[in-house]
């Protein structure tokens, strides 16, 4: 599967935004971010692998 730099950049930007906006503890921020990002990341990886399989 080809790497998607824009995907990683988007995730990094989102995480940094969440971290800056969050005034509570770092672990709480990490948990919230993980709960939001992990399902989306799995979904995006699934979609991209399906698309990659169709084109090849």
pLDDT tens for 1-22 read 456 777 788 878 887 777 776 6
Of 1, 35, 5, 40, the C-alpha closest to 18 is 35
pLDDT for 14? 82
How many separate domains does the chain show? Answer: 1
Q: Is the pLDDT of residue 48 over 80?
A: yes
Task: Record the tokens describing residue 32, joined without a space.
Answer: 């919230």
pLDDT tens for 32-41 read 777 888 888 8
Q: By residue range, what is the domain housing residue 45? A: 5-55
């Amino acid at each position: 599967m080809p790497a998607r730099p824009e995907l990683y950049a988007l995730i990094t930007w989102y995480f940094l935004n969440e971290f800056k906006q969050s005034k509570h503890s770092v672990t709480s921020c990490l948990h919230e971010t993980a709960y939001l990002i992990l399902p989306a990341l799995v979904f995006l990886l699934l979609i991209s692998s399906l698309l990659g399989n169709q084109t090849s």
